């Protein structure tokens, strides 16, 4: 074995040292023959005979040398080396062809690499923790019939939060889960905490985590220590682990940061550790800046809100409050059914403990375990579908580029026909020739791949900005080993794909020698026409989809939102974070509204707890004073100030809006939108009826409906306006209005009001900063950012494909015209008009494109089913999109065909015929 | 065809190694003469076929080579068996002895019956 390895190694080395050896071997052989001759001479032969005898004894000198050479190196490796050298020389000789081919492939492969690196970062990459494959996220099947005693309120978007006691039930570990951790975000975004670091005030996002969090994830701090189980006990000192990012940003990246004290929402904490770089917790959509231990602390609000349960219970003790994310680590090698049945038993015990027999088992939810290998996947879920669509689109672009380069190679192999013929005639093996031509195409695609990688690397920053929105730190799209492997594989595949057909065809020349005699139509041209039609087909698919996405974006942007988005300034204030006592909060809002209203340039002003289309909503189950509904009915709610509907431009359909008396007195009244009126009251008159956000209906905390307003978009641009109730801010609990968003309708540019309003706010309370200042239209743009990127990239790929088609058409036709020079010359000589000749060539271009349309449209419609869920306000059979797609392609074909057509009709018949 | 060549190369390799083991460093001509001499000219080979075998043995590390001067003052490449080569020769020798013994038994068995 070792001897074989040694030999192989020597042979590989021998490939490069061969030349030096050859001379030595020749000398050695020469010496040997000389010695034989000497011996023969000694035996008395004449010199001439001695020579001949010596040569006979030695045997064939050439054969010996050849056999020696074969053994010395590796013949295939030497051939490959020679092929590469040959291919490089060939490519250098036609720089134009090489440049076009490499550029096409670089665009194709580069676009694929760029999209793939995003897919890799967003969808494929696992969490940077120990054995991420073992992590499972607790989820449950949502059943609205879960009894209120088990689940009264829930926070979080998906079915993945649980009451604290479920975590406690699992904490000791189980037969199938080695450990279970719990964590809760401290707000809905990364600005939800106010922190004081060395006298500086800053905002940050954070998480409360169970004491075993870092240990179970296998993440050790690069400085200091992690959070321990002891930190969860009540009375233990407040400690925090900060993210690497935060450490660099706010703590100067110094080791002395350990032991420093910081305040979080006015509560003092000691920094005890710094998390390793790249560790962003388990939810990639919300990387925390600090981690603190999961326990009841005054002033620290899980999920950014403080909503004590019945009787002022803390969330930890509140059995009906579902708020903890739970992640478990599986013990290896246990079948999933066993894990599920075991955890479900424990889950039921945990849920029903202390509740007696009052809860029937069939009304409890089923626990399911989702892989947490890549973390909580809100961001990933949102991006996964568009990324896969883009991935498909971009691979079609690569296919177009491939067939384009294949067309070029075909034309090139034509001009090499003689050379190949001669080589075949001299006895070169077809296999060797094919491998030589393949080497050339693979070399091209590798160059294209390298250039593409560079392109992807250069654009990676832009991509992050495009896809990540504001959260650039969580998308690491720099090429890693997966991306490199992807590029290598794609390049090799591309090279084989583009090279195989032309190579096989080129070496088949000798089978049909008569083809060389006749100058006209050859199957090679048919093949390149076929390739051009393929390109056109793919381009139609890409253009059609891009068209649909652009129409979708337009529809989203221009739709009737139910309110007037123009000239609206939004900003938020959070009086409690500025130290305002809860009893004064409402007064602050009153005062701010009154003073801003009188500012110059302000048409009207109002305030709401949640800005429309900000990505956040509030809501829950609603009961009416009528007969109880068979199942819990959910509705959104928003808290607002006087004149909100007027300021936003929401129409009041019946009754009235919220006015000053409602907030001042306050009165328990509500305004509902049309959707809510229809959902809860059907054909009945909602005015005067009462609703409560407690189920079953609670008259004490109910609101009387005084008005019905038009529907306005609230949660998202794509979704229908949800049933929504608007409540006056004076009439709801303080927790709902801790932070509110002001909406100022301006007469001119809304942003020009900022200095005036800032001055006004300062005069009310100097410690009250305006936060998150933006206009309503910029907020809508932000909401449409992904849609815009998506439509933009789809269009870019469509245009890329179109350009490649134009190039392919031009190349094929120009080549055809060159080959038909004589024929065209004769036609002109026989009296064909120039116009006729022009049309002849142009028609061919249009026919090829037309074939592409005929093949492409059905394909696009068939594939359209995959993207239907991304469309908005536009159907698959949208005539405008189809017309634009077909029109664009045909126009491109006309332009691409015009140059060769023009050349054809200016052929001088005399010259052409004489040339023959 | 190929197999036959490999068997031939294999036996030739053993002869070469044995030769180098007994007479010490030697050039290609010397090895060829020695093999002819030992086999009493029963084995007449083209001397040229010896060189691929020498190359293979060198690549496998059984022998090593260096340029030197022959008895009659010619510059020649001398081959020398290495320790690894000696070990390999010993194992090959055992293998051959076993093979020939077994074959011999078979032939003897045929004659007896």
For the stretch A703-725, pLDDT in tens is 999 999 999 998 888 888 999 99
Dihedral (Cα; A674, A679, A685, A689), 10-degree rounding: -100
pLDDT of residue A201: 72
Provide the β-strand partners of residue A171. none
Q: How many CB atoms lie within 10 A of CB A141?
A: 9
Question: How far, in Å, CA of A107 to CA of A451, rounded?
Answer: 8
Residue pair A210/A232 in contact by the 8 Å Cβ criterion: yes
B27 touches chain A (CB under 8 A): yes
Helix or strand or coil: residue A637? strand
Q: Which helix (H) or strand (E) holds A268?
A: strand A267-274
Cα angle A650, A654, A657; round to 5 = 55
Of all residues in chain B, the one with the smallest CA distance to A12 is: B59
Tokens 């665009």 belong to residue: A107
Mean pLDDT is highest, among A6-15, A157-166, A469-478, B48-57, for B48-57
Of all residues in chain A, the one with the smallest CA distance to B44 is: A57
Residue pair A657/A671 in contact by the 8 Å Cβ criterion: yes
Question: How far, in Å, CA of A207 to CA of A292, rounded?
Answer: 6
Residues of A within 8 A of B60 (CB-CB) are 3-4, 6-7
pLDDT of residue A514: 41
B62 touches chain A (CB under 8 A): yes
B18 touches chain A (CB under 8 A): no
Of B28, B47, B56, the CB nearest to A57: B47
Asked if the Cβ–Cβ distance from A11 to B59 is below 8 Å, we say: yes
The encoded tokens of residue A34 equal 């000389």
**Bond prior to A343 in cis (omega within 30° of 0):** no
How much is the mean pLDDT over chain A?
84
pLDDT of residue A305: 66
Of all residues in chain A, the one with the smallest CA distance to B5 is: A67
Residues of A within 8 A of B62 (CB-CB) are 3
Looking at the complex, report in whole angstroms how far the Cα of residue B109 sits from the nearest Cα belonging to chain A. 36
Cα angle A770, A775, A779; round to 5 = 105
Average pLDDT of the segment spanning A313-331: 86
Question: How far, in Å, CA of A25 to CA of B79, rounded?
Answer: 14
Average pLDDT of the segment spanning A152-176: 82
pLDDT of residue A883: 94
Residues of B within 8 A of A32 (CB-CB) are 27-29, 32, 47
Q: Is the pLDDT of residue A221 over 80?
A: yes
Of the given ranges (A251-255, A558-562, B44-48), which has the lowest mean pLDDT? B44-48
For A45, phi then psi, to 5°, come to -75, 160
Closest of A766, A851, A311 to residue A530, by C-alpha: A851
The larger pLDDT score, comparing residue A308 to residue A74, is at A74
DSSP β-ladder status, A568-573 and A740-746: antiparallel
Q: Can you list the alpha helix ranges (DSSP code H) found in A95-226?
A: 95-119, 164-170, 213-217
Residue pair B54/B72 in contact by the 8 Å Cβ criterion: no
Helix or strand or coil: residue A874? coil
Number of H helices, E strands in chain A: 26, 25
Q: How many CB atoms lie within 10 A of CB A696?
A: 11
Of A6, A10, A58, the CB nearest to B46: A58
Give the B window 71-90 contacts with A, CB below 8 Å.
Answer: 72, 74-77, 84, 88
Tens of pLDDT, residue by residue over A856-914, are 999 998 888 778 888 888 888 889 999 999 999 999 999 999 989 998 888 888 887 77
DSSP β-ladder status, A223-224 and A367-371: unpaired
Q: Is the pLDDT of residue A522 over 70?
A: no
Dihedral (Cα; A634, A636, A638, A643), 10-degree rounding: -110
Asked if the Cβ–Cβ distance from A27 to B75 is below 8 Å, we say: yes
Residue pair A339/A134 in contact by the 8 Å Cβ criterion: no
Helix or strand or coil: residue A57? helix
**Contact residues for A814 (Cβ-Cβ < 8 A; gap 6+):** A899, A900, A903
CA atoms within 13 A on the CB side of A723: 15
Tens of pLDDT, residue by residue over A774-810, are 899 888 887 787 788 888 888 989 998 998 899 888 8
Asked if the Cβ–Cβ distance from B52 to A57 is below 8 Å, we say: no
The encoded tokens of residue B105 equal 């038994």
The encoded tokens of residue A395 equal 């691979």
Of the given ranges (A67-71, A232-236, A502-506), which has the lowest mean pLDDT? A502-506
Beta carbon pairs, A and B, within 8 Å: 76
Of all residues in chain A, the one with the smallest CA distance to B57 is: A7
Asked if the Cβ–Cβ distance from B74 to A24 is below 8 Å, we say: no
C-alpha gyration radius of chain A: 38
The encoded tokens of residue B91 equal 């194992």
Residues of B within 8 A of A72 (CB-CB) are 55
Average pLDDT of the segment spanning A534-550: 92
Of B48, B56, B77, the CB nearest to A64: B48
Of B59, B77, B84, the CB nearest to A28: B77
Q: Is the pLDDT of residue A55 over 90?
A: no
Three-state SS sequence of A703-750: EEEEEEECCCCCCCCCCCCCCEEEEEHHHCCHHHHCCEEEEEEECCCH
Residues of A within 8 A of B74 (CB-CB) are 31, 34-35
pLDDT of residue A438: 86
Closest of A134, A10, A75, A153 to residue A693, by C-alpha: A153
Q: What percent of chain A shows pLDDT beyond 90?
A: 24
pLDDT of residue B80: 92
Residues of A within 8 A of B75 (CB-CB) are 27, 31
Instruction: Estimate the crossing angle of helix A481-507 against helix A523-558, to 10 degrees.
Output: 150
Average pLDDT of the segment spanning A136-146: 78
Asked if the Cβ–Cβ distance from B48 to A10 is below 8 Å, we say: no
Residue pair A273/A161 in contact by the 8 Å Cβ criterion: no
Residues of A within 8 A of B56 (CB-CB) are 7, 71
Asked if the Cβ–Cβ distance from A68 to B51 is below 8 Å, we say: yes
Question: How far, in Å, CA of A876 to CA of A49, rounded?
Answer: 92
For A666, phi then psi, to 5°, come to -85, 165
C-alpha gyration radius of chain B: 16
Question: How far, in Å, CA of A535 to CA of A405, rounded?
Answer: 11
pLDDT of residue A165: 87
pTM, 2 dp: 0.71
Residues of B within 8 A of A61 (CB-CB) are 48
Show contacts of B58-63: CB within 8 Å, 24+ apart. B58/A10, B59/A6, B59/A7, B59/A10, B59/A11, B59/A14, B59/A71, B60/A3, B60/A4, B60/A6, B60/A7, B60/B88, B61/A3, B61/A6, B61/B85, B62/A3, B62/B13, B62/B17, B62/B88, B62/B89, B63/B16, B63/B17, B63/B20
Mean pLDDT is highest, among A198-212, A508-522, B54-68, for B54-68
Question: How far, in Å, CA of A296 to CA of A171, rounded?
Answer: 18
The encoded tokens of residue A885 equal 């797609």
The larger pLDDT score, comparing residue A468 to residue B102, is at B102
Looking at the complex, report in whole angstroms how far the Cα of residue A432 sits from the nearest Cα belonging to chain B. 22
pLDDT of residue A517: 44
Looking at the complex, report in whole angstroms how far the Cα of residue A39 sits from the nearest Cα belonging to chain B. 11
Tens of pLDDT, residue by residue over A809-841, are 888 888 888 888 888 888 888 888 888 889 999
DSSP β-ladder status, A321-322 and A153-154: parallel
Of B29, B61, B84, the CB nearest to A35: B29
Tens of pLDDT, residue by residue over A393-402, are 899 999 898 8
Of A6, A34, A68, the CB nearest to B52: A68
Q: Which band of pLDDT confidence, cut at 50, 70 and 90, is reported for residue A630?
A: low
Average pLDDT of the segment spanning A209-237: 90
Q: Which band of pLDDT confidence, cut at 50, 70 and 90, is reported for residue A515?
A: very low
Q: Which of B55, B71, B79 to mutate to test the interface with A (most CBs of A within 10 A)?
A: B55
Asked if the Cβ–Cβ distance from B59 to A60 is below 8 Å, we say: no
Closest of A191, A308, A291 to residue A241, by C-alpha: A291
Q: Which of A1, A2, A3, A60 to mutate to test the interface with B (most CBs of B within 10 A)?
A: A3
Terminal C-alpha separation, chain B:
34
Closest of A690, A602, A588, A698 to residue A641, by C-alpha: A588
Residues of A within 8 A of B72 (CB-CB) are 38
Could you tell me how many residues make up chain B? 113
The encoded tokens of residue A54 equal 């010596």
Show contacts of A79-87: CB within 8 Å, 24+ apart. A79/A432, A79/A435, A80/A439, A81/A15, A83/A435, A83/A436, A83/A439, A83/A440, A84/A439, A84/A443, A86/A436, A86/A439, A87/A436, A87/A439, A87/A440, A87/A443
**Contact residues for A530 (Cβ-Cβ < 8 A; gap 6+):** none
Closest of A333, A331, A344, A332 to residue A177, by C-alpha: A331
Average pLDDT of the segment spanning A223-250: 89
Residue pair A652/A707 in contact by the 8 Å Cβ criterion: yes
CB contact burial A164-187 (16+ within 10 A = b; e otherwise): bbbbbbbbeebebbebbbbbbbbb
CA atoms within 13 A on the CB side of A212: 16
Asked if the Cβ–Cβ distance from A7 to B56 is below 8 Å, we say: yes
Of all residues in chain A, the one with the smallest CA distance to B77 is: A28
Looking at the complex, report in whole angstroms how far the Cα of residue B8 sits from the nearest Cα belonging to chain A. 14
Residues of B within 8 A of A70 (CB-CB) are 52
Average pLDDT of the segment spanning A117-136: 81
Average pLDDT of the segment spanning A542-546: 93
């Amino acid at each position: 074995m070792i001897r074989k390895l040694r030999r192989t190694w020597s042979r590989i080395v021998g490939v490069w040292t061969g030349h030096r050896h050859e001379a030595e071997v020749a000398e050695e052989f020469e010496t040997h023959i000389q010695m034989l001759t000497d011996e023969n001479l000694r035996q008395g032969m004449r010199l001439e005979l001695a020579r001949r005898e010596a040569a006979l004894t030695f045997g064939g000198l050439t054969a010996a040398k050849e056999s020696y050479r074969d053994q010395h190196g590796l013949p295939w490796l030497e051939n490959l080396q020679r092929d590469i050298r040959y291919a490089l020389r060939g490519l250098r000789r036609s720089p134009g062809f090489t440049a076009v081919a490499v550029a096409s492939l670089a665009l194709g492969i580069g676009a694929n690499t760029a999209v793939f690196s995003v897919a890799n970062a967003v969808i494929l990459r696992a969490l940077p923790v120990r054995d991420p494959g073992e992590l499972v996220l607790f989820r449950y099947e949502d059943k609205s019939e879960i009894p209120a005693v088990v689940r009264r309120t829930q926070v979080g978007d998906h079915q993945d939060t649980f009451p604290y006691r479920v975590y406690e039930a699992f904490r000791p570990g189980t037969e199938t889960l080695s450990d279970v951790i719990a964590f809760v975000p401290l707000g809905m975004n990364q600005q939800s905490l106010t922190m004081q670091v060395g006298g500086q005030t800053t905002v940050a996002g954070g998480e409360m985590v169970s004491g075993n969090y870092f240990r179970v994830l296998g993440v050790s701090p690069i400085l200091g220590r992690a959070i321990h189980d002891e930190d969860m006990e009540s009375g233990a000192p407040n400690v925090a682990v900060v993210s690497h990012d935060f450490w660099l940003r706010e703590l100067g990246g110094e080791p002395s940061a350990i032991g420093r004290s910081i305040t979080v929402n006015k509560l003092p904490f000691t920094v005890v550790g710094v998390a390793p770089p790249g560790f962003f917790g388990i939810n990639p959509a919300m990387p925390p800046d600090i981690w603190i231990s999961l326990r009841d602390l005054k002033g620290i609000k899980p999920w950014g809100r403080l909503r004590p349960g019945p009787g002022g219970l803390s969330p930890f003790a509140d059995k009906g409050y579902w708020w903890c994310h739970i992640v478990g680590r599986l013990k290896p090698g246990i079948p999933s059914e066993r894990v599920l049945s075991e955890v479900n038993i424990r889950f039921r015990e945990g849920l029903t403990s202390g509740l007696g027999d009052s809860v029937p088992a069939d009304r409890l939810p089923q626990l399911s375990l989702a892989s947490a290998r890549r973390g909580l996947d809100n961001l990933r879920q949102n991006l996964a579908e568009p990324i896969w669509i883009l991935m498909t689109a971009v691979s079609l672009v690569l296919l177009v580029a491939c067939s384009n380069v294949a067309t070029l190679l075909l034309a090139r192999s034509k001009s090499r026909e003689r050379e190949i013929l001669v080589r075949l005639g001299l006895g070169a093996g077809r296999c060797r020739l094919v491998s030589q031509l393949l080497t050339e195409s693979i070399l091209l695609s590798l160059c294209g791949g390298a250039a593409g990688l560079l392109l992807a690397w250069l654009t990676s920053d832009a991509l992050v900005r495009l896809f990540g929105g504001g959260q650039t730190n969580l998308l690491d799209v720099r090429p890693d080993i997966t991306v490199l492997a992807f590029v290598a594989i794609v390049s090799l595949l591309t090279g084989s794909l583009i090279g195989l057909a032309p190579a096989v065809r080129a070496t088949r020349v000798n089978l049909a020698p008569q083809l060389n005699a006749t100058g006209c139509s050859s199957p090679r041209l048919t093949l390149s026409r076929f390739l051009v039609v393929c390109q056109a087909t793919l381009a139609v698919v890409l253009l059609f989809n891009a068209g649909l996405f652009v129409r979708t974006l337009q529809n989203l942007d221009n739709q009737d939102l139910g309110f007037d988005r123009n000239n609206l300034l939004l900003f938020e204030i959070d009086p409690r974070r500025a130290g305002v006592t809860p009893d004064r909060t409402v007064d602050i809002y009153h005062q701010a509204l009154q003073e801003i209203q009188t500012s110059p340039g302000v048409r009207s002003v109002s305030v709401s707890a949640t800005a429309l289309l900000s990505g956040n909503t509030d809501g829950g189950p609603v009961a009416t004073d009528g007969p109880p509904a068979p199942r819990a009915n959910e509705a959104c709610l928003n808290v607002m100030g006087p004149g909100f509907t007027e300021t936003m431009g929401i129409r009041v359909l019946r009754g009235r809006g919220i006015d000053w008396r409602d907030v001042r007195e306050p009165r328990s009244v509500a305004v509902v939108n049309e959707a809510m009126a229809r959902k809860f009251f059907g054909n009945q008159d909602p005015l005067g009826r009462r609703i409560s956000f407690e189920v079953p209906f609670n008259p004490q905390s109910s609101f009387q409906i005084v008005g019905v307003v038009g529907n306005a978009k609230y949660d998202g641009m794509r979704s229908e306006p949800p049933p929504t109730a608007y409540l006056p801010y004076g009439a709801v609990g303080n927790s709902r209005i801790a932070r509110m968003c002001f909406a100022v309708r301006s007469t001119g540019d809304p942003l020009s009001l900022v200095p005036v309003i800032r001055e006004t706010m300062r005069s009310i309370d100097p410690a009250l900063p305006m936060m998150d200042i933006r206009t309503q239209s910029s907020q809508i743009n932000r909401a449409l950012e992904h849609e815009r990127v998506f439509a933009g990239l789809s269009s870019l790929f469509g245009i890329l494909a179109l350009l490649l088609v134009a190039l392919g058409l031009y190349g094929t036709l120009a080549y055809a015209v060159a080959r038909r020079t004589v024929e065209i010359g004769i036609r002109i000589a026989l009296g064909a008009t120039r116009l006729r000749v022009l049309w002849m060539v142009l028609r061919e271009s249009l026919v090829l494109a037309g074939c592409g349309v005929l093949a492409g449209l059905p394909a696009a419609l068939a594939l359209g089913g995959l993207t239907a869920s991304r469309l908005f306000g536009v159907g698959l059979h949208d005539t405008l999109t189809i017309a634009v797609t077909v029109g664009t392609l045909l126009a491109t074909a006309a332009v691409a065909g015009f140059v060769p057509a023009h050349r054809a009709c200016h052929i001088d018949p005399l010259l052409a015929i004489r040339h023959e | 065809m190929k197999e036959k060549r490999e068997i031939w190369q294999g036996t030739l390799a053993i002869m070469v190694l044995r030769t180098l083991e007994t007479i010490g460093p030697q050039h290609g001509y010397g090895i060829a003469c020695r093999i002819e001499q030992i086999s009493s000219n029963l084995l007449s080979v083209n001397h040229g076929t010896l060189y691929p075998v020498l190359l293979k043995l060198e690549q496998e590390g059984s022998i090593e080579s260096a340029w030197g001067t022959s008895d009659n003052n010619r510059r020649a490449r001398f081959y020398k068996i290495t320790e690894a080569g000696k070990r390999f020769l010993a194992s090959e020798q055992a293998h051959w002895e076993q093979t020939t013994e077994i074959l011999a038994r078979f032939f003897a068995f045929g004659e007896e019956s």
